[in-house]
Structure 1
Amino acid sequence: MRALVAAGLVLVVTACSSPEPGGNAPSKAPAPAGLQVEEVAGGLQHAWDIGFLPDGSMLVTERPGTIKIVKSGQVTPLDIDLGDVQARGEGGLMGLVVHPDNQRFTVCYNTSDDVRLVTFRLDGTKATKTKDLLTGMPSNSSGRHSGCRPTLAPDGTMFVATGDIAQARNPQDRTSLGGKVLRIDPETGEGAAGNPFIASGNANERRVYSYGHRNVQGVVFRPDSDQIFSSEHGPSVDDEVNLLAKGANYGWDPSKGGAQSRYDESVPMTDLQRFPDAVPAVWSSGSPTEAICQAAFWNGKLAITALKGSKLLLFTLDATGKVQNVSIPEELNDKYGRLRAARTAPDGSLYVTSSNGTDDKLLRLSGNA
């Protein structure tokens, strides 16, 4: 078991832990015992997200624009029209969430014009489009910072993590859907009741839950708690895990207060000088970044995949959401390359995907961690 030290992001072989931002180092992380990793399926291509169905099968999105049904180790292409997906750079077919009726699912993807959420109805191995749930999310022609992942909240609303598409003013512009965490009605795509800016005259601002983000890769809800965490890519430093607060600014502003249109990545991930009320991260990677990706709660810990770091990070949190330590299971450390998706299955196991581009894997994790 390796563990991660956030102050400078030092990796060491013996078990140690990540200092709290601005605080003392927490206690050492114990090594997990009995972690099992099962290769459920292979032959995938940039496997981006996972959705579970009641018959034990899974839907897995692939960034080039296909969805696979995985059941009992068998992989079957889903019959679905995704001809308007534009896969370029970091963009393409991305996040997926299955609706509570288990008959519909919503995916997020790039088109030639935008990033959009689209809902489909599932019938066996075929899916039919029912509606464009939300269109007009900003898109970069290169696909950069196109991150888009929907997740259903315990209250039935849909949270959507978005990237800022590397446009300097998007993160602080509450009328832009880029660089945000959105909270929407999963039936209409409109801002959900109780949102912080629900009284705004701008429909996009009514959808915003939090802003000032760079490229959010995942949102997850802590069981038996009202805590919401997000995982976010930093530039050359400071990937962030954030504890989300309604209406809060998380301080990313490459426009420097709107003074420039250039995407200036030298600014802090959380600029407390420009925005004294911005919310600091509960954990940041320091340098170099890990390119952390999707987050899920598993065995009481916050599990987050890493793309560049090619590992799984396990965060032990206290009751307030403060990070106590971070550990890295050796069973996944640089064994499968870039790790992207992370979803907790109904049986309590954790499923993750690799995202290397060829022969990507769907992995099932069980046991202690």
Structure 2
Amino acid sequence: MRYTRWRKTDLNKVRAAHLPSAAAPLATTLFLVLASSAAAQETREFSTQSGTVLVETLATGLDHPWAVEVMPDGALIVTERPGRLRILRDGKLSAAIDGVPKVAERGQGGLLDVALDPQFGTNRTVYLTLSARGEGGYGTVAVRAVLSEDEQKLTDVREIFRMNRFTRQGLHFGSRIAIDKDGSLFFGIGDRGERDRAQDPRDHAGSILHINADGGIPASNPYRGGTGGRAEIWSKGHRNPQGITFDAKDGKLLTVEHGSRGGDEVNNPQPGRNYGWPVITYGKDYSGAEIGEGTAKEGYEQPLYYWDPSIAPGAIAVYRGSMFPEWDGNLMIAALKYQLLARLERDENGAITAEERLFDGEFGRIRDVIVAPDGALLMVTDEEDGAVLRVSKAPTQ
């Protein structure tokens, strides 16, 4: 598999379509109205390789927001890591929605991703990932629930996945959700700070997982039936995959994961394949020591792309919007360490050919990025005073 190496000296400076298809033209119109009426609006202008963009602050005062999604009427639903789920509408943040399961806010854990069922407009179903307390310590859990019509509480809350081994570690919980066209869920869990777990096919840690919307096992899973590995596992050898999305054009699954000191990766996980951690990696230990057996070995997949040094990627999306046609097919990566948004260009074969960096250090740790129905980008910043931001094209003079 082809891969590309990034070094800081090679680059200039600027994720995207994980919206459910249910939000369509009505949501686009309403989103534009809601965005323009946002009370917190502060707008800044930035130059990019393809023109000038505007970044509007839609809301502030969020406590470590982790994820954002657009609802069918254009309002935004946002998670906060301490365990709150809130809605941003008409520039105002709602009170915390009742009924969210209790989270274990430990280290990197807490309330993580939110995703809307493709039929949310009629069934009001949402999916959440979170870290929970259980036997042995803490681990990643996925739940589904129904948002009440008045948007004040979750009902019919059901756990649909619980990782099989909890520990006291507060690291590498994952865990974003990507919903396939059949309604099944893909999500990642990191190695939980215990690197060898990523190579154990009977351990959920260090894996991309794949389950049906009710928690059942899809027929396409490589270990369905439990032969050779846990039935929910799709792929192994992942250190801490915090970004996952589908390309709406070709259905390709793409992930982004944290390396150690270097070695962040973009991958296209295939069923039953092993993506190397910690046997092969392009990173080193934080102490500077070598990890594993080098950067390549038979039986282990190469990344599509990697970073050295690490940018600490938090989310990934494929741009398929109308506002920036020049970005069509580009990957958008939210990054924490350098507090930036990376735009990765791809050729006709999907190989990553160039990177542009945006907003380096301007807004804090960028945790999530998605594409809104109108083609703008939405981002959240993982800070004590976290914000929701909207990136749009500046009007031509």
TM-score, length basis structure 1: 0.84
C-alpha contact 1:139 1:146 (8 A) present in aligned 2: no
Q: Kindly, what percent of the aligned residue pairs are identical?
A: 27
Determine the C-alpha separation between the residues in 1 that align with 2:113 and 2:192. 16
Cα shift readout 1:69-106 (whole Å, capped 9, x = no counterpart): 11121100232233521101101111111112210111
Which of 362, 370, 384 aligns to 1:335? It is 362
Provide closer, same or farther for how the CA distance between residues 15 and 213 of structure 1 changes in structure 2, counting only shifts above 3 A: closer
The equivalent of 2:301 in structure 1 is 279
C-alpha contact 2:280 2:296 (8 A) present in aligned 1: no
Which segments of 5 or more consecutive residues in structure 2 lack a partner in the other structure?
A: 15-47, 282-287, 320-326
Determine the C-alpha separation between the residues in 2 that align with 1:52 and 1:62. 16
Q: Does 1:239 align with 2:260?
A: no
Determine the C-alpha separation between the residues in 2 that align with 1:269 and 1:47. 37
One-letter code aligned to 2:131: N
Q: Does 1:216 align with 2:241?
A: yes
Determine the C-alpha separation between the residues in 2 that align with 1:81 and 1:265. 45
C-alpha contact 1:303 1:313 (8 A) present in aligned 2: yes
Aligned residues: 336
The equivalent of 1:197 in structure 2 is 223
C-alpha RMSD of the superposition: 2.6
The equivalent of 1:99 in structure 2 is 117
Cα shift readout 1:270-308 (whole Å, capped 9, x = no counterpart): 8523xx121111111112x11011001124211000001
Cα shift readout 1:133-184 (whole Å, capped 9, x = no counterpart): 1123544424211121112122321101111101233211111111111111
Counterparts of 1:138-287 in structure 2 under 5 Å?
138-187=165-214, 189-201=215-227, 205-253=230-278, 266-267=290-291, 271-273=295-297, 276-287=298-309
Counterparts of 1:301-320 in structure 2 under 5 Å?
301-320=330-349
Cα shift readout 1:183-227 (whole Å, capped 9, x = no counterpart): 11012x12212122224347x722111110000011111121132
Provide closer, same or farther for how the CA distance between residues 91 and 101 of structure 1 changes in structure 2, counting only shifts above 3 A: same
Provide closer, same or farther for how the CA distance between residues 268 and 255 of structure 1 changes in structure 2, counting only shifts above 3 A: closer
One-letter code aligned to 2:221: N
Determine the C-alpha separation between the residues in 2 that align with 1:225 and 1:239. 24
Deviation (angstroms), 1:268: 5.2
Determine the C-alpha separation between the residues in 2 that align with 1:292 and 1:268. 22
Deviates more, 1:129-138 or 1:33-42: 129-138
Which of 13, 38, 50 aligns to 2:68? It is 50
Which of 34, 38, 42 aligns to 2:56? It is 38
Cα shift readout 1:111-136 (whole Å, capped 9, x = no counterpart): 11232111111012221243111123
C-alpha contact 1:97 1:150 (8 A) present in aligned 2: yes
Provide closer, same or farther for how the CA distance between residues 190 and 365 of structure 1 changes in structure 2, counting only shifts above 3 A: same
One-letter code aligned to 2:191: D
Which segments of 5 or more consecutive residues in structure 1 lack a partner in the other structure?
A: 17-29, 257-263
Deviation (angstroms), 1:34: 2.5
Q: Does 1:325 align with 2:349?
A: no
One-letter code aligned to 1:194: S
C-alpha contact 1:39 1:363 (8 A) present in aligned 2: yes
TM-score, length basis structure 2: 0.78
Determine the C-alpha separation between the residues in 2 that align with 1:293 and 1:265. 25
Q: Does 1:108 align with 2:132?
A: no
Name the SS of the counterpart of 2:301 in structure 1.
coil
Determine the C-alpha separation between the residues in 2 that align with 1:267 and 1:216. 18
Determine the C-alpha separation between the residues in 1 that align with 2:69 and 2:293. 31
C-alpha contact 1:52 1:345 (8 A) present in aligned 2: yes
C-alpha contact 1:79 1:125 (8 A) present in aligned 2: yes
C-alpha contact 1:115 1:138 (8 A) present in aligned 2: no
C-alpha contact 2:178 2:246 (8 A) present in aligned 1: no
Which of 97, 122, 137 aligns to 1:79? It is 97
One-letter code aligned to 2:304: V
Determine the C-alpha separation between the residues in 1 that align with 2:233 and 2:248. 23
Determine the C-alpha separation between the residues in 2 that align with 1:169 and 1:284. 21
Name the SS of the counterpart of 2:146 in structure 1.
strand
Cα shift readout 1:217-266 (whole Å, capped 9, x = no counterpart): 1111112113221100000111111122222110003699xxxxxxx983
Larger helix percent:
2
